[in-house]
Amino acid sequence: MTTEPTTPAAPAPAVRRASTRDRAGRIFAGLSTGAGALILIVLAAVAGFLLLEAWPALTAGAEELTSISWIPDDGSLLTYVGPLIFGTLVAAVLALLLAVPVAIGIALFISHYAPRRLSSALGYVVDLLAAIPSVVYGLWGGLVLAPLVQPVWQWLSETLGWIPLFEGPAATPARVMMTVGVVLAVMILPIITAVSREVFLQTPRLHEEAALALGATRWEMVRMAVIPFGRSGVISASMLGLGRALGETMAVLMILSPGLTYSLALLLAGRQQTIAANIALQFPEASPLGVSALIATGLALFVITLAVNMLARWVVARRADFSGAN
Amino acid sequence: MTRLRQTPHAVPSAAPRALAPSQGRRTPGSPGGRVAAAAVAVVAALTLTACGSDDPLNHPWRPGPAAQEGAAGDGAAPEVEGLTGTVAGAGSSAQEAAMQAWIAGFQSANPDVSVAYDPVGSGGGRTQFVEGGIAYAGSDAPLDEEELAAAQERCAPGAVAELPLYISPIAVMFNLEGVTSLNMSAATIAGIFAREITRWDDPRIAADNPGVALPDLGITPVNRSDESGTTENFTEYLHEAAPDVWTFDPSGNWPLTGGQSAQGTSGVVQTVQDGQGTITYADASRAGTLGTVALGVGEEWVPFSPEAAAAVVDASPRAEGRPEASLVVELDRDTTAPGAYPLVLVSYTLACTAYADAADAELVGAFLSYVASEEGQAAAAQAAGSAPISDALREQVLPVVEAISQEAM
């Protein structure tokens, strides 16, 4: 990428206006540098705020902490935040497992299978999904989806109950992690679909035609040319979705019956809770030290999100070397 | 500034109304609303003189901008008496709906008064009150010893007043098709919520409900997932009325892990509505179409009602060793008084019997006497579903509230 004027059509005026262009260019460079710096400052400010506000809880003794009614009896912040981190990861990973296959399917359909008119309409509808606020997803999940899926979870626990994940009997109403996973999956579907679709569309035409010319069917072409090319893009799209799922608050708060355990049972009520939902849940009645303890859990979430993003970067960077993309 | 004003209405109404905005009117209100407000103000003026001092020396009868405005909004009223000023409070979120009704009622009677209430939570309200940041507070729990000492210091030379002005019955509600009411003793309720009684056709439930067809269905108890005063009062009731079954200490945070839970009153009620065989505890005004439990009190079964909730407060003794103005009741949760419903949430209003600022004293006194009045309690009952306090309790509260006004004079 280059920022210099590349239009060969009118070289003479370009030279004449070089000085004004130069000034505009410098202003623009300054602005974009400022914007870039701003994001770093904001990030540093958030990290600083979290550390500063969490400090009283991080340094408080066990006795002080047990005065908060929802801190476990041993008064350790670690035993409190542990199940929360676990629950957050379970929710996000579950959402990702449900969403990614569907998102890739939609993206491939739009980019390679659907008739042109249908594909643009479908892309538009998928993007619309992203515009629905999460509190609406929460309401929908709690009021409509949970009663609807209860018989399905019931069946799941009866037939697959021997797998610890689907341990029964399924809770009524279905305010369980499985329902949360489905709603989160719907919420992160648009972002994964949109990014994957763009990546698939950028597959070099020559690769596709070469595959077809060698006698590949359309599915084989997709498998051999499109998916390998788009793999790193799909991974970064998934990480974007994962970021959203990790931090999602309202939907989890409104759907899940929370509990602080390390249980993987997805169909039982009161087993898991996520960090973000827990902060929103306990904040209104929290004492100053309680608020500080909640912010300490927020700090944990910040670190997790950072780690996940760095992992994603690393994965993408590694793949980029031999995928032929970028 | 706070003054009781009374002015002969001699000004043509149009001019002052045009002037009104430049005269620093404090309370926002549309000109249309002012007509109604001023009409009510006349009625309120009578109430206010009843509880305040009517010593003319301290209440100079002179015209002021407030009086002119009041008159301007109401062409018919010959004279208008009114309070002005701002008073701020904070605390219990349980009281929020009632407090909004009280503030609306008080402000429409006194358009130049601005009363604020910030529902930061009981703990925050008590802290701010003790620190002197606010003039009154709402708290679901009385002050503890440490806070009481600090509050006495803050209120010196007066004393701290704790007034049980918000009584809210908590109902145990359930969702069972075809069953609208069940009798349960405290031990049975404790057994259900401790997950020892797990099926609806358990003999311990059936024994108290002859003739009710109880289904062969699992019980799903639903509790609040957030820390709440409702949970604290409910666990306190179970702890005191059924100590053998409910072995947990009273706490605002539900002591058991696992099981169904939801955020806030709406959350638990919604959860109960969504599932068959569910049972929860919540503010009684939210029961709607759900079945409710009549509590075993002595030899009888008492369903919740505003009168029954007020009755338990009357039947309970005053807490001892507290200042005279502190009307803290030690709720007798295992009461056997006939017709008393012991599962209630009592939320207190904290105030001082004397304020350094006379204006604060008069405003707080006037506001709290409205809150304790029959109209005030009826407004809260309508807005928040609380139980109006009994006349017996009102007779105890009013002298304290009236003393607030007098001591500042």
The predicted structure's pLDDT at residue B3: 43
Q: pLDDT per residue over A156-192, tens digit each? A: 999 998 998 898 888 888 999 999 999 999 999 999 9
Q: What is the DSSP letter of A284?
A: G
Q: What is the DSSP letter of B282?
A: E
Q: pLDDT per residue over B380-403, tens digit each? A: 998 888 999 999 899 989 888 888
Shortest CA distance to A296 belongs to which of A278, A310, A284, A281? Answer: A278
Residues 6 or more apart whose CB falls under 8 angstroms from that of A210 comprise A225
Contacts of B276 in chain A (CB under 8 A): 172
Distance, in angstroms, between B271 CA and closest chain A CA?
Answer: 7
Strand partners, B160: B352
Distance CA B149, CA B95 (A): 24
The model's pTM:
0.77
Distance, in angstroms, between B226 CA and closest chain A CA?
Answer: 6
The predicted structure's pLDDT at residue A320: 59
The partner residue sitting opposite B227, judged by closest CB among A142, A147, A285, is A285
CB atoms within 10 A of CB B275: 21
Distance, in angstroms, between A210 CA and closest chain B CA?
Answer: 57
Contacts of A169 in chain B (CB under 8 A): 218
Note every long-range contact of A247-250, with CB atoms under 8 Å and residues 24 or more positions apart, other chains counting.
A247/A276, A247/A301, A247/A305, A248/A91, A248/A134, A248/A184, A248/A187, A248/A274, A248/A276, A249/A134, A249/A274, A249/A276, A249/A277, A249/A279, A249/A280, A250/A133, A250/A134, A250/A135, A250/A137, A250/A138, A250/A280
The size of the A-B interface in CB pairs under 8 A is 76
CB B354 within 8 Å of CB B157: yes
Q: What is this model's ipTM?
A: 0.78
The predicted structure's pLDDT at residue B32: 44
CB A207 within 8 Å of CB A73: no
Contacts of A268 in chain B (CB under 8 A): 258
Strand partners, B350: B137, B162
Contacts of B121 in chain A (CB under 8 A): 284-286
Cβ of A287 within 8 Å of Cβ of B274? The answer is no
Domain A60-322 CATH (choose: 1.10.10.410, 1.10.3720.10, 3.40.640.10, 2.60.40.10): 1.10.3720.10
CB B85 within 8 Å of CB B64: no
The partner residue sitting opposite B225, judged by closest CB among A142, A257, A261, is A257
| Residue ranges with strand state E in B236-343 | 260-262, 278-283, 291-297, 300-302
Contacts of B261 in chain A (CB under 8 A): 257-259, 269-270
Q: Mean pLDDT across the stretch A262-276?
A: 92
Distance CA B180, CA B290 (A): 7
The partner residue sitting opposite A257, judged by closest CB among B226, B227, B260, is B260
Shortest CA distance to B167 belongs to which of B291, B31, B46, B283? Answer: B283
Q: Please report which helix (H) or strand (E) contains residue B175, including its range.
A: strand B160-175
Surface of B (92-151) touching A: CB under 8 A = 93, 121-123
Per residue of chain B (409 residues), what is the pLDDT tens digit? Answer: 444 444 444 444 444 444 444 444 444 444 444 444 444 444 444 444 444 333 334 333 333 333 333 333 333 222 235 678 889 999 888 888 899 999 999 999 888 889 999 988 788 888 889 888 899 999 988 888 888 888 888 887 788 999 999 999 999 999 999 899 999 999 999 999 999 999 999 999 999 999 899 999 999 999 999 888 889 899 999 999 999 999 999 888 899 988 899 988 888 999 999 889 999 999 888 888 899 999 999 889 999 898 899 999 988 888 888 888 888 988 888 888 888 999 999 999 999 988 888 888 888 988 998 999 999 999 999 888 899 999 989 998 988 888 886 554 3
Q: What are phi and psi of B277, to 5 degrees?
A: 80, 15
Q: What are phi and psi of B134, to 5 degrees?
A: -130, 160
For chain A, domain boundaries:
60-322
The sign of the torsion formed by the CA atoms of A51, A53, A56, A58 equals negative
Cα-Cα-Cα-Cα torsion B107, B111, B113, B116, nearest 10 degrees, comes to 40
Residue A44's Cα: distance from chain center in Å? 21
* Angle between the N-to-C axes of helices B306-315 and B391-407, in degrees from 0 to 180, rounded to the nearest 10: 70
Distance, in angstroms, between A257 CA and closest chain B CA?
Answer: 5
At residue B326, the 3 state secondary structure works out as: strand
Distance CA B227, CA B234 (A): 12
Average pLDDT, chain A: 87
Q: Above 60 in pLDDT, residue A242?
A: yes
Is B267 within 8 Å of chain A by CB?
A: yes
Scanning the structure block, which residue is given the tokens 């000109």? Answer: B31
Distance CA B184, CA B212 (A): 13
| Residue ranges with strand state E in A188-298 | none
Surface of B (219-258) touching A: CB under 8 A = 220, 222, 225-228, 251-253, 257-258
Distance CA A227, CA B228 (A): 52
The sign of the torsion formed by the CA atoms of B324, B327, B332, B333 equals negative
Q: pLDDT per residue over A26-51, tens digit each? A: 999 999 999 999 999 999 999 999 99
Strand pairing class (B300-302; B291-297)? antiparallel
The predicted structure's pLDDT at residue B84: 82
Residue B264: closest CA among chain A residues belongs to which residue? A281
Cβ of B121 within 8 Å of Cβ of A285? The answer is yes
Q: Around A196, how many Cα atoms within 13 Å sit in the side-chain half-sphere?
A: 31
Asked if omega into A8 is within 30° of 0 (cis), the reply is no
Is B277 within 8 Å of chain A by CB?
A: yes
Cβ of B275 within 8 Å of Cβ of A259? The answer is no
The partner residue sitting opposite B262, judged by closest CB among A169, A175, A286, is A175
Strand pairing class (B136-139; B260-262)? unpaired
The partner residue sitting opposite A281, judged by closest CB among B257, B263, B270, is B263
Shortest CA distance to A181 belongs to which of A153, A209, A222, A217? Answer: A153
Distance CA B373, CA A259 (A): 44
Euclidean distance between the first and final Cα of chain B, in Å?
14
* Residues on chain A bordering chain B, Cβ-to-Cβ distance under 8 angstroms: 69-70, 142-143, 146-147, 169, 171-173, 175, 253-254, 257-261, 268-271, 281-282, 284-287
Percent helix, strand and coil across chain B, each to the nearest 5: 40, 20, 40
Q: What are phi and psi of A263, to 5 degrees?
A: -90, 140
The sign of the torsion formed by the CA atoms of B253, B258, B264, B269 equals negative
CB B186 within 8 Å of CB B295: yes
Confidence of residue A299 (pLDDT cuts 50, 70, 90): very high
Q: Which two tokens stand for residue A291?
A: 């608020």
Shortest CA distance to B6 belongs to which of B56, B62, B48, B49? Answer: B62
The partner residue sitting opposite B261, judged by closest CB among A143, A257, A286, is A257
Cβ of A282 within 8 Å of Cβ of B227? The answer is yes
CB atoms within 10 A of CB B22: 8
The string of DSSP codes covering A26-95 is: HHHHHHHHHHHHHHHHHHHHHHHHHHHHHHHHHH--HHHHHTSTTS-TT--HHHHHHHHHHHHHHHHHHH
Strand partners, B137: B90, B350
The predicted structure's pLDDT at residue B50: 40
The predicted structure's pLDDT at residue A92: 94
Q: pLDDT per residue over A76-128, tens digit each? A: 888 999 999 999 999 999 999 999 999 999 999 999 899 989 988 998 888 88
The partner residue sitting opposite B274, judged by closest CB among A70, A146, A259, is A146
Q: pLDDT per residue over B322-346, tens digit each? A: 888 888 988 888 888 888 999 999 9
The predicted structure's pLDDT at residue A278: 94
The predicted structure's pLDDT at residue B112: 87
